[in-house]
Amino acid sequence: MGTIVLAATVVLVVLGFSNHTWWLAAVALLFLYARYGRGSAPGSSPGPGSAAGSPGITSYQQYRDRRDQQAKWERRYRRERPFETRRQQREKS
């Protein structure tokens, strides 16, 4: 990914010699990659054994809070949609 961003930046800089707007696009691309790209935050990539759907959980307390919140949402869903819940239970068995 970094190679693609670097290549795109070089292309935008070369194009920028005729139109300076491309230089602004190159700067924006580098900014966005630094802000949201891979490796931007030290704990952003899930390590081995961590769930892909729960980024940023670094302590057991955060894990418990997230688990409790998920259970709360599931209970609310079952309470608000009883017919859908029963249908899902029938499909499981």
Q: What is the DSSP string of 18-41?
A: T-THHHHHHHHHHHHHHHHSTTSS
pTM: 0.40
**Residue 13 contacts residue 20 (beta carbons within 8 Å):** no
CA dihedral angle for residue 72, residue 75, residue 80, residue 84, rounded to 10 degrees? 130
- Predicted local distance difference test score (pLDDT) of residue 70: 96
* Dist. CA 54–CA 74, nearest whole Å: 16
- Predicted local distance difference test score (pLDDT) of residue 40: 53
pLDDT digits (tens), the chain, 93 positions: 678 888 888 888 888 888 888 888 989 988 888 888 776 555 444 444 445 555 677 889 999 999 999 999 999 998 999 898 888 888 988
Among left, alpha and beta (phi > 0; psi -120 to 50; other), residue 39 is: left
- Predicted local distance difference test score (pLDDT) of residue 36: 83
- Predicted local distance difference test score (pLDDT) of residue 48: 47
